[in-house]
Amino acid sequence: MGTWILRCAVHALLVVGLTLHASQVDNRLQAYTRGLADELWTLLSALPPSRSHDYELYTMDDTIAQVHTLLDNYFLLPQVALGRFRVATCDGADETIDALACPTLRVIESATGTDEVERFYDLQRGNESCWPVGLRYNTHHDVSRVFFDALVSMEISVRVESHPPSREEDDADFEFTNWNVSFAYDLSAQGQLHGQMRVRRLLPSLTLRATPKDLIPRYVFFIALAVLYQLLELGHLVATLPGATSLETIGRHLYYTEPWCLVVLCMNLATVAVSIQAWQYAGHLAYFEQLSLTFAIACGLAWVSSLRYLHANARFYILGLTLRRGLPRVLEFLIGVCPLFVGYVLFGTVMFGSQVPRFQGLTTTATTLFAIANGDEVRLTFDSLAATPLLGQIYLYSYIMLFTYVVLMVCIGIIEDAFFSSAFPSLWKQPATRDDDSASSRLATDDWLQLRSLILNETDPSLVVAQTAILNRVHERLYVAKDDGQ
């Protein structure tokens, strides 16, 4: 009991620490990271704010003007932006060691057959010759036409360093965060060039000074807690192993008896890994994309594994029993329904995909139908199929009646049955046999007496009294309690 309390206390400390740290990271970055993509979109593209950060280009002149405007606005960021930015110099002069890389243009062109050619261009400030011939100003229309006819896609990538809003000027040079901003242009759609901006954080150089120092003890605390917790788990695992130890025995023990040990192991490994990595970049409170997944796994597993301690109370264990009993049956039912759903997805994509954006592509159609089944955007989807009113309404009405009124209700019924069988087991007893011709749900009296005799004959004489008491209690549950209920 003492070991259980110690493991629970260590786990609680680790959960609270990770949660508070995640909250602090979120609050610290919210002021500038969340809006940085919108800020860069407006400053670089010179287009109105857009949540999706994409646009469509339909003419060669607009495309050439857009990419040149993008490059010009990039070099003007430090002078015109309200925020504090640093960009690459790229003016042909001698560059320092710490200078950012110049913007690059990656062009993919179609060659003979299905082959594609990939070319890279280093873009410089005010240097028209660094662009491909087809993207230069004052290029003849026929030359640009040849370039765009062969174009498959292109991408402009720029490096930007930003400084978060802060009133403290000390060590400002060490708080700049590196970003890679890319504008991708896709010509796969007929007659238009689809562009989209993507922003990705980059890990800083390890040569930067590690500030603030107050974060380092926190990472050490996380590592120490994770190591201590794992040692306690190993001790508990060794103590609960059966006498004969082999790889097969250990595997069966982990799978059937101590499955939470594997969850805790993954959580501790993720915690140690992300703490060590963040320790190296202690000057940046932000968790970069290379660390976000590991940190998210650690936080998620920390809270999920808390269920093992809540299950010590039978009332809290109802959720686990409900999922254990209901989830497999729900999955089996959904597998049987899957062909119907795929059929609706394919029909909707082929029939309406060319006209309705909600059905353009299999994934988009599947998302739309899943949302409709849960009651989301039903009226808007009906309105979007106004071009084919009869067929569209038959399609949606049949889908809603089948999946919302039948499939969804069956899933709810399965989970409800699993919940009540877990919360009130005495009222939801399962029959001992499944003979459809016989209404008997228990062993016959003669069969029970024969089974009782066989068990007592194989019991050690010193344990006959205890075994008899156990069999009497089993008999009472199987027969006396049920007869009283009837």
b or e along 200-232 (b: 16 or more beta carbons within 10 Å of the residue's beta carbon)?
Answer: ebeebeeebeeeeeebeebbeebbebbebbbeb
DSSP strand pairing (177-186 vs 151-163): antiparallel
User: Which residue stretches of the chain have pLDDT < 50?
Assistant: 31, 167, 169-174, 206-212, 285, 431-441, 485
Residue 155 contacts residue 120 (beta carbons within 8 Å): no
Task: Tell me the pLDDT tens digit for each residue of 49-96.
Answer: 776 788 888 899 999 999 999 999 999 999 988 888 889 988 766 555
| Cα–chain center distance at 197 | 21
Residue 194 contacts residue 54 (beta carbons within 8 Å): yes
Checking 353-361 for CB contacts under 8 A at 24+ apart, the result is 355/387, 355/388, 356/384, 356/385, 356/387, 357/384, 358/384
**pLDDT for position 445:** 67
**pLDDT for position 440:** 45
Backbone angles phi, psi at 202, to 5 degrees: -120, 145
pTM equals: 0.60
Task: Mention every residue, 6+ apart, whose C-beta is less than 8 A from residue 100.
Answer: 86, 87, 88, 89, 159, 160, 161, 178
Token digits for 57?
């280009």
Separation in Å, CA 42 to CA 58, 344, 486: 20, 40, 74
Length of the chain: 486
Spatial distance between the Cα atoms of 306 and 267, rounded to a whole number of angstroms? 11
DSSP strand pairing (151-163 vs 104-110): antiparallel
**pLDDT for position 406:** 94
Task: Tell me the pLDDT tens digit for each residue of 269-317.
Answer: 999 988 887 776 655 545 555 567 788 888 899 998 888 887 777 677 7
**pLDDT for position 422:** 78
Spatial distance between the Cα atoms of 339 and 345, rounded to a whole number of angstroms? 10
Q: Using the 8-state DSSP alphabet, how is residue 120 labeled?
A: E
Per-domain boundaries in the chain: 2-28+212-312, 32-202, 319-423, 445-485
**pLDDT for position 481:** 52
Report CA dihedral (470, 475, 481, 483) to the nearest 10 degrees. -170
Task: Mention every residue, 6+ apart, whose C-beta is less than 8 A from residue 288.
Answer: 201, 202, 203, 281
E-assigned strands of 78-176?
84-87, 104-110, 116-122, 151-163
CATH code, 319-423 = 1.10.287.70
Token digits for 195?
């562009």
Which of 338, 259, 349, 342 has the alpha carbon at shortest distance from 301?
259
**pLDDT for position 401:** 94
**pLDDT for position 198:** 86
**pLDDT for position 473:** 80
**pLDDT for position 429:** 54
Report CA dihedral (430, 435, 441, 442) to the nearest 10 degrees. -110
**pLDDT for position 438:** 43
